[in-house]
Amino acid sequence: MNSAFSLFSFFFLFAITTAADISSDRAALVTLRAAVGGRSLLWNLTQTSPCSWNGVFCNGNRVTMLRFPGMGLSGSLPLGLGNLTQLQTLSLRFNALTGPIPSDFANLVNLRNLYLHGNFFSGEIPDFVFTLQNLVRLNLGSNNFSGVISPKFNNLTRLSSLFLDDNHFTGSIPDFDVPPLELFNVSNNRLNGSIPERFSRLDKSVFAGNSLCGKPLEPCPGTEGGKDDKKEKLSGGAIAGIVIGSLIGVLLILLILFLLCRKKRGGANDSNGVAPAKQVEAVAVAPREKSGDSENNAGASNSAVATAAAPQFVGKNGRSLVFFGNVNKPFDLEELLRASAEVLGKGTFGTTYKATMDTGMSVAVKRLKDVDAREDEFREKIGQVGKMVHENLVPLRGYYFSRDEKLIVYDYMPMGSLSALLHANNGAGRTPLNWETRSAIALSAARGIAYLHSHGPASSHGNIKSSNILLTKSYEARVSDFGLAYLALPTSTPNRISGYRAPEVTDARKVSQKADVYSFGIMLLELLTGKAPTHSSFNEEGVDLPKWVLSVVQEEWNNEVFDVELLRYQNVEEEMVKLLQLALECTAQHPDKRPSMDVVASRIQEICNSSLEKDGVSQQNYSADSGAPHA
């Protein structure tokens, strides 16, 4: 009897405690609603449990997740949220909240993800933040926080992402030793001093807008390669040795130049009958690549201007530009060489120029490098590429071949590449890309690649990446550089496309269709997340996109995956998730588990159709409000 009574008492007390817990959680949320403007949090307060309220997620009858991104919340956070002791994720990003972080946040001991970026929070980071031992992701970017960056971040031993960008932090960057820290950004603050060694391999953009020095930025004053510039005084004998050695070196250089001039004079006409012609100077605009196969120069300075040689050989013995199709020759090689030329980018297969003729016509000209093909082989392969005609492929118009010079001529795409559109301008004045535009780009690119897989000479592209997806004035995607991987030397490409390369690819000239699908999947993830993939040729840390997305999705926090510019389009969240799932299928480790490009294009079409079937008024509203280009 006593045993039964004890058991009954236990369950009775447990029920009372559980009810008290959810009641406490509810009270905290009601306090929040009253403090930040109840109009945005349209909750039915007649409901006893808050677990069905918009943005509130529960587990075991306790609130474990709050998601209120971009909901127009204003005012300061009240005391009381600290009562949500089982809270694991709190997202208040992109609102208009002010004031400090409430002191009772110290009670949120189970908090793993805290996203406060895009508000007006101010003050120093309070010490209690460094007691939240379970924090994995902390984003305080784009606020008004000030003070120094505390070395107490080292107390957060599980922290993997720390974003402190666009604030007013001063002082230096502490030498963090938090082992799992993978993502880090302190750009646009008031920091100074040297960058700790552990961050030397990060992209320089995460330190921009400060007075910092050291790798990956310029060396600190008084140092060279990490060593003090103060060197021991050289002896007289050492100085004499340096002078004599320099003189000998100058004489050797003069001798080599003399021999080279004699050799050039004696062999002015090579076996291909090609002679030097007038050199055309070109302005190299590095910051924003605008053509296919140009690597991501988004982080370059807009003042990076240099001169470079445009294609500088004219044909003899019948050699000239060869055009595809039965069309009148629009220009000849002489006209091309007289054209003003602008360097668009240097990529995997060579340098690409924008050439503008005297008539005003513009074309893109690529000077190929590392091409290991005889003339007959080159003509055959490039001829097959020239026959590929599809509305989502960049048209290949012609080519020029000699022993020393190999040029191919494309239509010029005025809006540049997808890579530049996503990454080249992330500051003020950037035009955000809406869902309609991104999904249309994904669809048109998929159609172009699917066409190549069914009609191409080698049946695969071999070098799919966002810088090879070019855009028309209406933001329609056209795929570039198809077929060129099969003309290049095997050593010219593997490392350069590491962020997009399928795990099974060892020879860049032998890329299967399923490997193309993998690369396209990476590009889809890039399009959805706004993050650039790992790219070893720039020595960037980058992001392993499939791994990162899976790690976030497994925690059922899909909204944290998407680019912040997409978060306002909540009426198409289901479609965004479907495209994300398709991207993950495309990047499956085993090739047999990846869908074909025909299937990929068909599924993207279904996703786009589903978006269009949503409320038409809502579609018009989000397109107009975003200020984004329309596809």
DSSP category for residue 370: S
Residue 338 per-residue DSSP state: H
* 305 φ/ψ angles, rounded to the nearest 5 degrees: -125, 135
Taking the C-alpha atoms of residue 51 and residue 539, their distance in angstroms, rounded to an integer, is 46
CA proximity to 101, closest of 145, 66, 161: 145
d(Cα 408, Cα 355) in Å, to the nearest integer?
12
Nearest residue to 611 via CA among 582, 573, 559, 561: 573
Known binding site for ATP: residues?
A: 366
592: exposed, middle or buried (C-beta count within 10 Å: 0-12, 13-18, 19+)? exposed
**Rounded Cα gap, residues 120 and 143, in angstroms:** 5
| Cα separation, 297 vs 346, whole angstroms | 9
- CA pair distance 163, 177, nearest whole angstrom: 16
Q: Is 178 helix (H, G, I), strand (E, B) or coil?
A: coil
Q: Which residues contact 262 (CB under 8 A, 6 or more apart)?
A: none
End-to-end CA distance of the chain: 75
DSSP letters spanning 88-150? -EEE--SSEEEEPPPGGGGG-TT--EEE--SSEEEEPPPGGGGG-TT--EEE--SSEEEEE--
Residue list for the binding site: 366
Q: Are the beta carbons of 371 and 378 closer than 8 angstroms?
A: yes
Strands (E), 190-234: 190-194, 211-213, 223-224, 227-228
Provide the strand spans (E) within 140-265.
144-148, 161-163, 168-171, 183-185, 190-194, 211-213, 223-224, 227-228
Residue count of the chain, please give it. 631
